[in-house]
């Protein structure tokens, strides 16, 4: 039926195409990067353009500890990746749990920061341009952290239930790509919001 | 099972012969839960053709209103809604879905794959797009919300601020517009990711990147461009929703926000979007022109390079939509030059197509007729594009009907013509039956004549100074006759499209049997049955050149002896 099989002379050598998981995740990351770019451009464009206070200089504190935690989580997930490649499943579960904890600490830091800004400094998304752009950009990133944590937690639960095996290493590395991206975006957001904009 | 994939319920072969209601239910169920790329491709195309008829009807209403000065067919508010919905529908619910429909149906077959890389993501993306469209049209009923009678969005498809602010767009019409585009935008993103993963990772044995058929190559480029094109729009829509619902100030000039930044964000999406739509049209021409000229495509590597070049250049031209907004002379110069640069890779493509036709044994079947018209019309569209790229000329003609004529020359003269070519070309593969050539030629000639009567004339109305987006005009402007001619051409086009719809239905039941390879073509989709089985290929194909079926049909003179 398939006439193409007529040309099925033995193919010389092994046929390999790139991993579809990595390609698809890379494509998603490129698309997401474009979304973040627009929000970052809006933030930078509106720095100092608010017609009323509070200003970033008055209310923003640099979240050093949360940032250290989030950036460290890139290291722990890399260790988790390495562990599963070497079939050390207990170490994998441990490093994965560590990654989740660090991500949760980061989110907790954001929650405390927002609580202070809203209830102490009176800055909401509708207060001024700074509020609008700040909550949108940081909130967009936090949303991505939540999505990443959800996926990591699902894997963690499977790992605790001993359902994750070495053969899943590639899927874990695809998930890790996303998490590294979330961390990388934070470097940009941090620079724009807390260094340039403050 | 698969041979029945396109039959209507009455013809489904079920051994237990249930009642027709049950059969209908089962048939519907199969189509709703399907993850098969061929069915999803057909769903995309049927969905897009449906909205093509809807948005076409809106265009006809617009043209009836403008046929005579001071006409009362549509009141001003309804006119605004109609041109907003016409533009939004044609771009988001016709252009993108139909091209992704082709991509879905053809790409896995062309690269010898069993299915897309992510079949379930594929289904999810389709249904997001589908519900996005229904959501947009629900605004006719629900757009007024608590404020009174229902309305559709009336802010133009570009939705410039501050028109979209709560104060100027009360009710929910604009929210339906923004949310529908966010939803369908995520569907588009999902399909783009899927096509990229499919073309890169699912190729059959021997199909190196430089042996991938040009249609699939261009779908890869388009999908890559889509990733960074549709997402800025999604981001801008999220900002708009924040402004409207949470009291944000992104585009609120009274709080220091900027209306111009919306224009930038919109056109950073809006201009590459034109290339997202036109590159698949090129992709169709890349398949049809060689097959009907009986020659291999001229300059395959140059075609690939030109497509990638267009994708990159298209990212740096957006502000040529904003010359009249008032930019610095440096920005003006930059966007003039970058816009003109697009002419280089597109010129390469036109010459390659001409060189492919040159000396060929041309068969003027309906797909080739549409592609031949496409070549000339796209050339003219490109030339008026270069005229509009010159900033002083643009200051004179911007937002006139000259601009409308220019971009309809691209969107209709190039894209719609190629879409028709693609449907005539692949319909036999999808259904097993040929579209009627006789009706097809009627469709082609009527549509061609209607197209030129409408859009050639529209250039003159524009040069005479008629601005876009006006619901009527005074009788003493000297636009009366020309507008009547434009509207008359619109009616001819509408008749042609109805003939086409008739052809689709009639040929489905009565069309001539197609066989596997009715066009004597060279890519892998023609090696399997029409319609293809659910699994596509019995054996995984192995290819050694860009034209595997040529190699098969001509073992004495295979392509792989010539390709490097």
With tokens 């050598």, the residue in question is A13
Q: Is the pLDDT of residue A65 over 90?
A: yes
pLDDT at B564 (0 to 100): 61
pLDDT above 90 covers a percentage of chain B that reads: 88
Closest B-chain CA to A52: B255
Query: In this structure, what token pair is assigned to residue A87?
Result: 């079939």
- Considering CB atoms only, which of B189, B232, B551 is closest to A7? B551
- pLDDT for B4: 44
Does residue B525 register a pLDDT over 90?
Answer: yes
CA distance B390 to chain A (A): 28
Phi, psi of B400, deg, nearest 5: -105, 175
**B6 pLDDT more than 80:** no
Rg of the Cα atoms in chain B: 24
Q: Which pLDDT belongs to residue B77?
A: 87
pLDDT at B386 over 70: yes
Choose from B211, B542, B555, B559 for mutation: most chain A CBs within 10 A.
Answer: B542
Chain-chain contact of B206 with A3 (C-beta, under 8 angstroms) = no
Nearest CA in chain B to A22: B197
A14: confidence class by pLDDT, cuts 50, 70, 90:
confident
- What would the pLDDT profile of B177-209 be if each residue is shown by its tens digit? 999 999 999 999 999 999 999 999 999 999 999
* pLDDT (average), residues B304-310: 96
Among the residue ranges A152-161, B5-14, B97-106, B182-191, the one predicted with the least confidence is B5-14
Provide the β-strand partners of residue B467.
Answer: B400
How is residue B62 written in tokens? 């617009």
CA A83 to chain centre: 21
* Mean pLDDT of the B536-552 span: 92
Average pLDDT over every residue of B328-351: 94
Cβ atoms < 10 Å from Cβ of B246: 13
Burial class (CB in 10 A: 0-12, 13-18, 19+), B364: exposed
Residue B320 in this model has a pLDDT that exceeds 80:
yes
Distance from CA of B466 to the nearest CA of A (A): 35
Contact check, Cβ <8 Å, B227/A27: yes
ipTM of this complex > 0.90? yes
* Residues near B548 by beta carbon (within 8 Å), at least 6 away in sequence: A4, A7, B522, B523, B524, B527, B541
Give contacts of A171 with chain B, Cβ < 8 Å: none
Mean of per-residue pLDDT scores for chain B: 92
Find the closest chain A residue to B233 by CA distance: A35
The predicted structure's pLDDT at residue A5: 40
Question: What is the token pair recorded at B163?
Answer: 């028109």
Q: Give the model's pLDDT for residue B145.
A: 57
pLDDT value, residue B7: 47
Express each pLDDT in B267-293 by its tens digit: 999 999 999 999 999 999 999 999 999
Rounded distance between C-alpha atoms, residue B126 and residue B134, angstroms: 12
Give the N- to C-terminal CA distance of chain A in Å, as an integer. Answer: 68
Q: How far apart are CA A50 and CA A129, in angstroms?
A: 5
Task: Classify domain A19-52+61-196 by CATH number.
Answer: 1.20.120.80
Chain B hits for A129, CB-CB cut-off 8 Å, are 249, 255-257
pLDDT at B471 over 70: yes
- As given in the structure block, the two tokens for residue B78 are 């309804």
Task: Name the residue of chain A whose CA is nearest to B244's CA.
Answer: A126
Q: What is the pLDDT of residues A20-61, one digit of tens each?
A: 999 999 999 999 999 999 999 999 999 999 999 899 999 999
Write down the pLDDT at residue B517. Answer: 94
Chain A residues lying within 8 Å of B246, measured CB to CB: 125-126
The reported pTM is: 0.93
Peptide bond before residue B531 is cis, with ω within 30 degrees of 0: yes
Give yes or no for residue B141 having a pLDDT over 90.
Answer: no
Please report residues of B whose CB lies closer than 8 A to that of A24: 117-118, 193-194, 196-197
What distance in Å separates the CA atoms of residue B489 and residue B409, rounded to the nearest whole number?
14
Q: How far is CA B449 from CA B113, B372, B443, B446, B494, in A?
A: 40, 14, 10, 5, 12
Per-residue pLDDT band at B230 (split at 50, 70, 90): very high
In this prediction, residue B142 carries a pLDDT of 76
Over residues B454-477, the mean pLDDT reads 94
- Chain A to chain B, count of Cβ pairs less than 8 Å apart? 155
Q: Can you give the pLDDT at residue B151?
A: 82
The stretch B61-67 carries a mean pLDDT of 96
**Predicted local confidence at residue B8, as pLDDT:** 47
CA distance B296 to chain A (A): 19
Span B445-462, average pLDDT: 97
Q: Which of A7, A42, A51 sits opposite B239 (nearest CB)?
A: A42
In the predicted structure, residue B323 carries a pLDDT above the cut 80: yes
The DSSP symbol for B433 reads B
Of B238, B256, B529, the CB nearest to A1: B529
Q: Which of B508, B507, B503, B525 is nearest to B516 (CA)?
A: B525
Would you place residue B347 in the very low, low, confident or very high pLDDT band (cuts 50, 70, 90)? Answer: very high
pLDDT at A3: 40
Shortest CA distance from A36: residue in chain B:
B235
Compute the average pLDDT of residues B387-413.
94
Contact A35 B543 (CB under 8 A): no
Question: Residue B557: CB partners within 8 Å, gap ≥ 6?
Answer: none
pLDDT exceeds 70 at position B266: yes
Average pLDDT estimate for B25-39: 94
Q: How far is B550 from chain A (nearest CA, A)?
A: 10
Measure CB to CB from residue B527 to each of A4, A15, A34 and give the nearest one. A4
pLDDT band at A4 (very low <50, low <70, confident <90, very high): very low
What confidence category does residue A198 fall into, taking pLDDT thresholds of 50, 70 and 90? confident
Q: What is the mean pLDDT of residues A111-116?
A: 96
Most confident of the ranges A176-185, B153-162, B320-329: A176-185
Tokens, residue B114:
């069993």
Q: Read off the pLDDT of each residue in B448-466 and give the average, rounded to a whole number.
A: 96
The model's pLDDT over A70-93, given as tens digits with 9 standing for 90+, comes to 999 999 999 999 999 999 999 999
Q: Which residue has the higher pLDDT, A9 or B347?
A: B347
Q: CA B105, CA B525: separation in Å to the nearest integer?
A: 10
What structural domains and CATH numbers belong to chain B?
1-33 (no CATH), 34-561 (1.20.210.10)
Taking alpha carbons only, the member of B561, B537, B564, B560 closest to residue B110 is B537
**Measured at the alpha carbon of residue A53, what is the angle toward residues A47 and A58, in degrees to the nearest 5?**
80
- Could you tell me the two tokens for B192? 């783009």
Does residue A13 surpass a pLDDT of 90?
Answer: no
Cβ–Cβ gap A4/B189 under 8 Å: no
What average pLDDT score do residues B284-303 get?
96
Mean pLDDT on A108-135: 96
Contact B171, B147 (CB under 8 A): yes
Give chain B positions within 8 Å (CB) of A49: 256
**Closest Cβ opposite residue B524 in set A4, A24, A28:** A4
pLDDT band at residue B172 using 50, 70 and 90 as cut-offs: confident
What pLDDT is attached to residue B79?
A: 93
* Closest residue to A129, CB basis, from B197, B228, B256: B256
Nearest Cα residue to B202 out of B192, B212, B210, B189:
B212
Is the pLDDT reported for residue B143 higher than 60?
Answer: yes
- B255 and A39 within 8 Å at the Cβ level: the answer is no
pLDDT for position A157: 97
* Residues B84, B59: Cα–Cα separation, whole Å: 10
Residues of A in contact with B165 (CB under 8 A): none
Q: What is the DSSP string of B166-217?
A: TTTS-SSHHHHHHHHHHHHHHHHHHHHHHHHHHHHH-PPBT--GGGS-HHHH
Contact check, Cβ <8 Å, B544/A9: yes
The confidence score (pLDDT) of residue B17 equals: 59
Task: State the smallest CA–CA distance between residue A1 and chain B in angstroms.
Answer: 7
What is the distance in angstroms between the Cα of A185 and the nearest Cα belonging to chain B? 15
Contacts of B261 in chain A (CB under 8 A): 42, 45
Read off the pLDDT band of B1 (50, 70, 90). very low
Mean pLDDT of A156-173: 94
What 3-state DSSP class applies to B542? strand
Q: Which of B201, B206, B538 sits opposite A11 (nearest CB)?
A: B206
**If interface means Cβ-Cβ distance under 8 Å, which residues of chain A face chain B?**
1-9, 11, 15, 17-20, 23-24, 27-28, 30-32, 34-35, 37-39, 42, 45-46, 49-51, 125-126, 128-129, 132-133, 136, 140
Whether residues B552 and A4 touch (CB distance < 8 A) is answered with yes
Which of B189, B212, B243, B257 should we substitute to test contact with A (largest number of A Cβ atoms within 10 Å)?
A: B257
Among the partner-chain residues B197, B238, B255, the one whose CB lies closest to the CB of A129 is B255
User: How far lies B359's CA from each of B42, B290, B298, B356, B369, in Å?
Assistant: 35, 11, 12, 8, 17
Q: Is the pLDDT of residue B12 over 90?
A: no
Give the confidence band of A15 by pLDDT, cuts at 50, 70, 90.
confident
Per the CB < 8 Å rule, is B200 touching A18? Answer: yes
Helix runs in A46-190, H state only? 56-59, 64-85, 89-115, 129-160, 169-190
Q: How far is B194 from chain A (nearest CA, A)?
A: 7
pLDDT number for residue B134: 93
């Amino acid at each position: 039926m398939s006439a193409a099989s007529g040309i099925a002379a033995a193919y010389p050598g092994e046929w390999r195409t790139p991993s579809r998981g990595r390609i698809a995740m890379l494509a998603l990351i490129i698309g997401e990067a474009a979304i973040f770019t627009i929000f970052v451009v809006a933030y930078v464009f509106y720095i100092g353009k608010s017609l009323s206070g509070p200003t970033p200089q008055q209310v923003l504190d640099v979240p050093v500890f949360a940032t250290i935690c989030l950036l460290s989580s890139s290291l722990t997930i890399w260790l988790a990746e390495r562990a599963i490649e070497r079939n050390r499943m207990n170490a994998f579960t441990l490093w994965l749990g560590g990654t989740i904890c660090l991500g949760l600490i980061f989110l907790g830091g954001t929650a405390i920061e927002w609580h202070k800004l809203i209830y102490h400094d009176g800055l909401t998304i509708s207060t001024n341009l700074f509020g609008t752009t700040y909550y949108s950009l940081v909130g967009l990133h936090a949303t991505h952290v939540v999505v990443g944590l959800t996926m990591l937690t699902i894997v963690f639960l499977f790992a605790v239930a001993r359902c994750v095996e070495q053969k899943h290493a590639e899927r874990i590395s695809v998930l890790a790509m996303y998490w590294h991206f979330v961390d990388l975006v934070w470097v940009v957001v941090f620079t724009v919001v807390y260094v340039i904009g403050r | 099972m698969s041979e029945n994939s396109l039959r209507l319920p009455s013809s489904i072969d079920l051994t237990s012969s249930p009642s027709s209601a049950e059969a209908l239910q089962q048939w519907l169920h199969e189509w709703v839960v399907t993850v098969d790329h061929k069915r999803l491709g057909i769903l995309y195309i049927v969905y897009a053709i449906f909205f093509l008829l809807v948005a076409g009807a809106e265009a006809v209403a617009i043209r009836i209103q403008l046929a005579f000065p001071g006409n009362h067919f549509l009141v001003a508010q309804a006119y605004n809604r109609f041109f907003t919905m016409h533009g939004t529908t044609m771009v988001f619910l016709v252009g993108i879905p139909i091209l992704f429909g082709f991509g879905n149906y053809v790409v896995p077959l062309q690269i010898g794959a069993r299915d897309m890389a992510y079949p379930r993501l594929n289904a999810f993306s389709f249904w997001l797009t589908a519900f996005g469209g229904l959501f947009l049209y629900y605004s006719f009923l629900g757009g007024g919300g608590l404020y009174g009678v229902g309305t559709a969005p009336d802010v133009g498809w570009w939705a410039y601020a501050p028109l979209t602010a709560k104060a100027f767009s009360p009710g929910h019409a604009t929210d339906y517009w923004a949310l529908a585009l966010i939803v369908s935008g995520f569907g588009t993103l999902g399909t783009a990711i899927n096509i990229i993963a499919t073309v890169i990772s699912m190729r059959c044995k021997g199909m190196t990147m430089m042996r991938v058929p040009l249609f699939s190559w261009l779908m890869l480029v388009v999908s890559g461009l889509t990733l960074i094109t549709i997402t800025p729009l999604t981001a801008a829509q999220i900002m708009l929703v924040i402004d409207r619902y949470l009291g944000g100030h992104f585009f609120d000039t009274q709080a220091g926000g900027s209306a111009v930044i919306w224009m930038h964000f919109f056109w950073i999406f809006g201009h590459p979007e034109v290339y997202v739509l036109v590159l698949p049209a090129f992709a169709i021409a890349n398949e049809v022109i060689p097959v009907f000229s009986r020659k291999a495509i001229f300059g395959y590597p140059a075609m690939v390079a030109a497509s990638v070049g267009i994708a990159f250049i298209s990212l740096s031209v957006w502000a040529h939509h904003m010359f009249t907004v008032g930019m610095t002379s440096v920005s003006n110069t930059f966007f003039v030059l970058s816009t003109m640069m697009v002419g280089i890779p597109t010129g390469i493509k036109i010459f390659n197509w001409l060189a492919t036709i040159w000396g060929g044994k041309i068969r003027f079947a309906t797909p080739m007729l549409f592609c031949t018209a496409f070549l000339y019309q796209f050339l003219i569209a490109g030339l008026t594009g270069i005229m509009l790229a010159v900033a002083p000329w643009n200051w004179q003609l911007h937002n006139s009907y000259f601009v409308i004529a220019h971009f309809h020359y691209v969107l209709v003269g190039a894209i719609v013509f190629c879409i028709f070519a693609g449907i005539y070309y692949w319909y036999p593969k999808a259904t097993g039956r040929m579209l009627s050539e006789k009706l097809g030629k009627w469709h082609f000639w009527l549509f061609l004549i209607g197209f030129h009567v409408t859009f050639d004339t529209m250039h003159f109305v524009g040069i005479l100074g008629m601005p876009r987006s006006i619901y009527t005009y005074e009788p003493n402007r000297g636009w009366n006759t020309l507008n009547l001619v434009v509207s008359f051409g619109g009616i001819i086009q509408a008749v042609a499209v109805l003939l086409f719809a008739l052809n689709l239905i009639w040929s489905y039941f009565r069309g001539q049997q197609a066989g596997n390879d009715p066009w004597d073509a060279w890519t892998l989709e023609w090696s399997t049955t029409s319609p293809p089985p659910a699994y596509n290929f019995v054996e995984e194909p192995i290819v050694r050149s860009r034209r595997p079926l040529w190699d098969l049909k001509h073992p004495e003179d295979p392509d792989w002896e010539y390709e490097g």
